[in-house]
Amino acid sequence: MDFVTIMAAGVATGTIYLFAAVGEIFAERSGVLNLGVTGMMLMGAVGGFATVVATGDPWLGLLVGMAAGGLLSLLHAVVTIHFQADQVVSGLALTFVGTGLARVLGEGLSKAGATSLLPKLTVPILSDIPIVGPIFLRDQSVLVYAGYLLVPAAWYWIHRTRPGLNLRAVGEYPAAADAMGVNVYRLRYLYVFMGGLLSGLAGAAITLAIQPGWFGDLTVGGRGWIAIGLVIFAQWDPLRAAVGGYLFGAIDRFLLDVQGPENFFGIRNPVYYDHTLTFFLGMLPFVLVIVVLVVGSREAVRKRIGAPAALGVPYIRGERGA
Amino acid sequence: MTAAGSPQGVAARSRRTVQLERRLDVPRWLPYLATLGAVAFALLVSAMILAAVGGDPIRSYLHIVDSAFGDIGVISDTMVKATPLILTGLACALAFRMRLWNIGAEGQLLMGAWGASAVVLVPLLPPGAPALVVIPAMTLAGFAAGALWGFIPGLLKARLAMNEIIATLMLNYVAALWIAFWVFGPWSEGGFQLTAQFPREAWLPRLTDLAAQVPALGGLTVHLGLAFALVAAVALWFILRRSRWGYEIRLTGDSPPAARYAGIDIARNTIAIFMISGGLAGLAGMAEVSGVVHRLQQAISPGYGFTAIIVAYIARFNPLGVIVAAILFGALILAGREIQPAGVPGMIQGIVLFSLIASEVVLRYRIRLVRG
């Protein structure tokens, strides 16, 4: 149990949170809250894993997993954008459907043996930099590197490009965006779909790279919801979402490792001697999400940062209001 | 007001177009018809998916009906499954009516089960206390523990404007781990992952307990928890429809600005509703440990608290409608245990919820075919 190992593992598992959170940021920035992240991640996880079991090709699995998440998200898009249904309930329904469907499709997959994984890479020279090298650049999955590229790209897209400006306009004040000639409906569809692709990617990252195997709905567990919490904590900013994702990944790993040693600096490790205490360790990430959101919301109030103004509000062309 | 030019207007590219017109008033029968239609549509879609993955939808559905309503014995079993669904469904319906998204009924149920168990296992009452004392104490403890688990997100929502969806969801996981700690640790029965069986005084009376007097009731597992649930439903209906406080809640749900203008204390009501909602879910947990399993164990709920969300929605938040919807979903849960693959009941639930909320578009708009 040392700092570098925990952080390196944190970056790997944090990549799962990162993909899901960035996807959700895109959807929410366009004004559509999608609480179905867990369902989309499970579809991505099962789609990717079933493909690699059937074909042995993890890259194909990655594509199928992303497509599965994206397809599921379209259900949410149709119901909330076209039928103007409540986004909260539709997102919950998406979680039910995705979870149920993934369990149906994953029938028998838990017995699958070892599968081929996406490759791991070590960056030459740079990985020898003390601390930073071994944490970020040594023996990490290609998807971890994809995360390094995705985060700045997403930030740049949202904050520095014309389409990104349109995206923010649609989420803040769709009527004005519409008046400027932006197609509100099309953009919302697009970004909900993008969120679905990235959630599918997050799920596929679990089964094809970070923690391979199919364990029913426990494959994703509470991580979809933690990712949604991270979006609020990140104040809809991909850079902050990445930091939060890696941090929660590191906490996941720390909670596993802390059970190992008998002593810390000569003090008896209570968790080592009484394993029922590990249940309290397991509570920590969930409690931490609440704490982080309480602290984060006060900071947001102080800095006057809020959710996209039209988040959760269906846009109806020609009617009053945002 | 027409919504021509909105995306609904582009359905048909040929001569005819579908137009949606804002409804000014909704006929009384329409919501019922929309609900029925949505459920029928969802069952059809589910059947298609079942057939696509190699199942036999007709046999599955007949199996559900038969094993949930086939004879008096299974009807009783269905009512046993419906009992926690009514209570958690009421918990959700009450909170949702004020537009408070309590997604935490599952965790509140678990905490209620824990609170009721604590009365017996700590024990909070001297051993040998009569059922007339033990059962009310467990009921109270179950309600209180659930209410406490509702109080936390209620307070965070009311005072810090925290997102209650995330808070209640996170607390579900915390509650599950809390239960796991007690059944693996202090309350474990000989190292197994369950507690010792409760003494008889802590069992809610069942119909089958009367079999000595009325032989026809033998084997019927319906317990007093069902009465709790029915009384709670009627009481809640009365509060929401007939009381001043119920009016405050409905007004806040329909229009928060109007409620604020009317001087309603929204923060106080938020905390109160969350506590009552949590308490009702806690009662469901108490009824499960005291009426069904007679001990605390990890798997006391197959997701009642989540199914409750759909139950509340089908009932359109009407407490009496919750009873009907809960019986239907109780049947699905009871019969669904034997349906393979195991994810099917959950998937059907999700599809039902989807088509329900999509069906609401016919309540808001009049659909018209226009030539030209």
As a residue count, chain B comes to 372
Q: Is the ipTM value over 0.85, yes or no?
A: yes
CB contact under 8 A, B6 and A103: no
Query: What is d(CA B323, CA B320) in angstroms, rounded to the nearest whole number?
Result: 6
**Bridge partners (DSSP) listed for residue B18:** B369
Q: Tell me: the pLDDT tens digits for B209-238?
A: 888 888 888 888 999 999 999 999 999 999
Q: Do residues B9 and B3 lie in contact, with contact meaning Cβ atoms separated by under 8 Å? A: yes
* CA–CA min distance A71, chain B (Å): 15
Please give the tally of structural domains in chain A: 1
B139–chain A Cβ distance below 8 A for any pair: no
CA distance A129 to chain B (A): 38
Handedness of CA A102, A103, A109, A111 (dihedral sign): positive
List B residues 332-361 in contact with A (Cβ-Cβ < 8 A): 340-351, 353-354, 357-358, 360-361
Collapsed DSSP state (helix, strand, coil) of residue B368: strand
Question: Can you read off the two tokens belonging to residue B192?
Answer: 């197994």
Alpha-carbon span A11 to A246, nearest angstrom: 5
The stretch A104-108 carries a mean pLDDT of 87
Contact B346 A107 (CB under 8 A): no
For residues A8-27, give the mean pLDDT: 96
Neighbours of A82 (CB within 10 A): 16
Is residue A23 included in any domain, yes or no?
Answer: yes
The CATH number linked to A235 is 1.10.3470
Q: Quick check: is A314 in a domain?
A: no
Best of B347, B361, B362 to disrupt the A interface (most A CBs within 10 Å) is B347
User: Which residue, among A40, A105, A279, would best test binding to B if mutated, counting the most B CBs under 10 Å from its CB?
Assistant: A279
Q: Which of A24-38, B174-188, B335-349 has the lowest mean pLDDT?
A: B335-349
Under 8 Å CB-to-CB from B295, ≥6 apart: which residues?
B117, B189, B194, B195, B196, B197, B198, B289
Structure tokens at A187: 């953009």
Tens of pLDDT along B156-198? 999 888 889 999 999 999 999 999 999 998 999 887 888 999 9
Structural domains of chain B ordered from first start: 54-340 (1.10.3470)
Residues 6+ apart with CB under 8 A from A148: A136
Phi-psi region of B192 (alpha: psi -120 to 50; beta: other; left: phi over 0): beta
Mutate to test the interface with B, among A84, A281, A298 (most CBs of B within 10 A): A84
Residues of A with Cβ-Cβ distance to B181 under 8 angstroms: 276-277, 279-280
Asked whether residue A322 is assigned to any structural domain, the reply reads no
The pLDDT tens digits for B93-112 are 999 999 999 999 999 999 99
Q: Rounded mean pLDDT of B326-351? A: 82
User: How high is the pLDDT of residue B372?
Assistant: 55
> In terms of Cα–Cα distance, which of B302, B301, B299 is closest to B339?
B302
Interchain contact, A96 vs B357, CB within 8 Å: no
The minimal CB distance from A83 to the residues B162, B165, B358 is found for B358
Q: Is residue A311 part of a domain?
A: no
Would residue A111 count as lying in a domain?
yes
pLDDT score at B3: 42
| Structural domain contains residue A28 | yes
Domain range for A200? 3-303
Q: Is the pLDDT at B1 greater than 50, yes or no?
A: no
* Four-point Cα dihedral A134, A138, A139, A142, nearest 10: 130
Sign of CA dihedral A81, A83, A87, A91: negative
Identify whether A298 is part of a domain: yes
Closest by CA position to B149, among listed B191, B198, B95, B112: B112
Nearest CA in chain A to B313: A89
**Cβ(A44)–Cβ(A68) below 8 Å:** yes
Q: Is A63 among the domain residues?
A: yes
